[in-house]
Amino acid sequence: MSGFNRLLKNSLANIINGFSNVILGIVISPFLINILSLDEFSVWSICLQAGIAVSIFGVAGQITIGRFTSQFKFNNDELGLNRVINNYFNIILYIFIFFLLVLSVVLVNFESIFSSIPNEIIFESKIAFLLVFGSFTLGIFATVFIGYFIGIEKNHVTANINLISRVFIGIVVVFLADYGLIAIASGYFVINVISYLFMYKQFCAFEQHHFSFGLQGKIDELIKFFGGLTIWNVAQFLISGIGIFVVSIYDFDNLAFFVLAMTMVNAIVGLLGAIVNPIIQPIVKLNESGNPKGVDELVISLSMIFALTIFLGVNLSSYISLPILQLWVGDSNGTLANNYFNYLLVAFAIRMVIAPYGMKLVANAQQLKIAHFPVFEGVLNFILSIILVKEFGAIGVAYSTIISAITIMFVYTLKYSKETILDQSLITILLSFLIIPFLTVLSVYLFNSLTVSSYYSSILLIISILVIYMIKINVYRVKFILDNTKPLI
């Protein structure tokens, strides 16, 4: 299989692996919004978002194991692989205990933390929170297996398990929705635990590893890599995940519609993220073969593809989002969700332009060098979210994310233009990292602020044709680079 086709296959599997819960949300939301009360639907969304906060560590872990697995398999170092897997297992054991303590604290103070939840559903809300949060906490252990299969470029193994489990969860949750939050949370917990056991069974079929307590050898590099990614992911959560909690505190009445919009946005942005994550393996191989120029060419071409695709997709969405959302969750709910959708979409999508550069740093274990950048962006976004949601309601989340995203992308533009070994790349980096994203935001503002004429639409159509042509050129560049990289096994 060629390197490009292998990337496509792993990207598809990664979509299922990493964003199956988002895909599930799209499928079952139309049912839940009509079966549950708006308050119950909002509580269910809070439970899932709290679980996603736990998965910050899980995502960092699976990328960590994937990276080290790629490296050790490439160098045929089975002893090193066994040690890093066992050391990671011991690290997440401590993380598991930490989250059990967090869960206890939240449950004891549940009424004060989520004061907007009606008293009549407080008890079942606490039990649902316990079950959903608990299932995500147990899922941290499954990241060992997901990361291993990412590392050997067999993402489809765990993706198949995730796909089947999400189908069962969707059916069970919808079936049990009439019985309330506790019932659907119980079904969610049981099926998740079963899926983790199947992942372990598949891992044992590929790797004869015996887990044991206690760290083996040096763990500095593992801690540094995993810690850097965790800091990165915590910052990302402050950007993309904290909004639901802020809205639940300051604009609870509109939380359900905000969640509907964010569910669809997360699916789209998650698709982009899932496509870029498997780039780690080709970058590792390019580095191991002494081809840093190929790495920069790959990063710049992918960034341009993302920038152009996002411009195209966001402008198309401005025309078609309302009927799609109405078809998805009904006329009334779809109309209210559309009030937030396109601003949220552009706010979160433009940030994905710098994802290939981030994957380059992860593959080179250099993410700690820029850890302060996403932390700054996350803190800035968190502060702006509180201020702007208080002032404008739920749409303030989109405004704060746009401001913080454009700010940090300017910083990344300056940084990467100094780092790259490619000649005359500043214009391309400036275009993909900053100018095109800014024009994408501007186009959403113009569409929502002006009366859209046929003249405007005609100009946009011509620009879109040019954009598609530029995407095609950059796809061929990526294909050429990947087809000339050696497979791991």
Query: Would you state the structure tokens that stand for residue 308, as one six-digit string?
Result: 């152009």
68 and 3 in a single domain? The answer is yes
CA distance 285 to 305: 22
Q: Given this model, what pLDDT does residue 358 score?
A: 78
Please state, rounded to an integer, the average pLDDT across all residues of the chain: 83
Tell me if 222 is assigned to some domain. no
Tell me if 125 is assigned to some domain. yes
Mean of pLDDT values over 413-421: 84
2 and 144 in a single domain? The answer is yes
Tell me if 229 is assigned to some domain. no
119 and 15 in a single domain? The answer is yes
470 and 354 in a single domain? The answer is yes
Tell me if 475 is assigned to some domain. yes
164 and 272 in a single domain? The answer is no
* Per-residue pLDDT tens over the stretch 323-341: 999 999 999 999 999 999 9
pLDDT above 60 (res 248): yes
Q: Which residue has the higher pLDDT, 157 or 112?
A: 112
372 and 429 in a single domain? The answer is yes
Tell me if 116 is assigned to some domain. yes
Mean of pLDDT values over 425-448: 88
275 and 159 in a single domain? The answer is no
Tell me if 223 is assigned to some domain. no
Q: Given this model, what pLDDT does residue 482 score?
A: 72
Q: Given this model, what pLDDT does residue 396 score?
A: 94
276 and 139 in a single domain? The answer is no
326 and 379 in a single domain? The answer is yes
Tell me if 341 is assigned to some domain. yes
Q: Which residue has the tokens 């090193």?
A: 80
Quickly state the pLDDT bin for 345 (edges 50, 70, 90): very high
Mean of pLDDT values over 185-200: 92
Quickly state the pLDDT bin for 172 (edges 50, 70, 90): very high
Last residue of a domain, one of 217, 232, 267: 217
Q: Given this model, what pLDDT does residue 27 score?
A: 83
256 and 134 in a single domain? The answer is no
Lowest average pLDDT, out of 30-34, 55-59, 407-411, goes to: 55-59
Mean of pLDDT values over 204-222: 76
Quickly state the pLDDT bin for 238 (edges 50, 70, 90): confident
Q: Given this model, what pLDDT does residue 344 score?
A: 93
CB atoms within 10 A of CB 47: 24
Mean of pLDDT values over 336-352: 91
Lowest average pLDDT, out of 28-32, 171-175, 276-280, 352-356, goes to: 276-280
Tell me if 286 is assigned to some domain. yes
Q: Given this model, what pLDDT does residue 479 score?
A: 80
* Per-residue pLDDT tens over the stretch 219-235: 777 888 788 778 878 88
Quickly state the pLDDT bin for 85 (edges 50, 70, 90): confident
Q: Given this model, what pLDDT does residue 200 score?
A: 85
168 and 297 in a single domain? The answer is no
Domain span at residue 489? 251-489
125 and 204 in a single domain? The answer is yes
Q: Which residue has the higher pLDDT, 299 or 394?
A: 394
Q: Given this model, what pLDDT does residue 19 score?
A: 58
Q: HEC states along the chain?
A: CCHHHHHHHHHHHHHHHHHHHHHHHHHHHHHHHHHCCHHHHHHHHHHHHHHHHHHHHHHHHHHHHHHHHHHHHHCCCHHHHHHHHHHHHHHHHHHHHHHHHHHHHHHHCHHHHCCCCCHHHHHHHHHHHHHHHHHHHHHCCCHHHHHHHHHCCCCHHHHHHHHHHHHHHHHHHHHHHHHCHHHHHHHHHHHHHHHHHHHHHHHHHHCCCCCCCCCCCCCHHHHHHHHHHHHHHHHHHHHHCCHHHHHHHHCHHHHHHHHHHHHHHHHHHHHHHHHHHHHHHHHHHHHHCCCHHHHHHHHHHHHHHHHHHHHHHHHHHHHHHHHHHHHHHCHHHHHHHHHHHHHHHHHHHHHHHHHHHHHHHHHCCCHHHHCHHHHHHHHHHHHHHHHHHHHHCCCHHHHHHHHHHHHHHHHHHHHHHHHCCCCCCHHHHHHHHHHHHHHHHHHHHHHHHCCCCHHHHHHHHHHHHHHHHHHHHHHHHHHHHHHCCCCCC
Quickly state the pLDDT bin for 11 (edges 50, 70, 90): low
Mean of pLDDT values over 3-13: 58
pTM: 0.76
pLDDT above 90 (res 108): yes
- For 482, residues 6+ apart whose C-beta sits below 8 A from its C-beta are 2, 3, 4, 6, 7, 282, 298
Q: Which residue has the tokens 């079966």?
A: 35
Last residue of a domain, one of 217, 234, 264: 217
Mean of pLDDT values over 464-485: 83
How many distinct structural domains can be found in the chain? 2
Query: Would you state the structure tokens that stand for residue 292, as one six-digit string?
Result: 């840093």
Quickly state the pLDDT bin for 464 (edges 50, 70, 90): confident
Mean of pLDDT values over 388-401: 93
Last residue of a domain, one of 217, 241, 270: 217
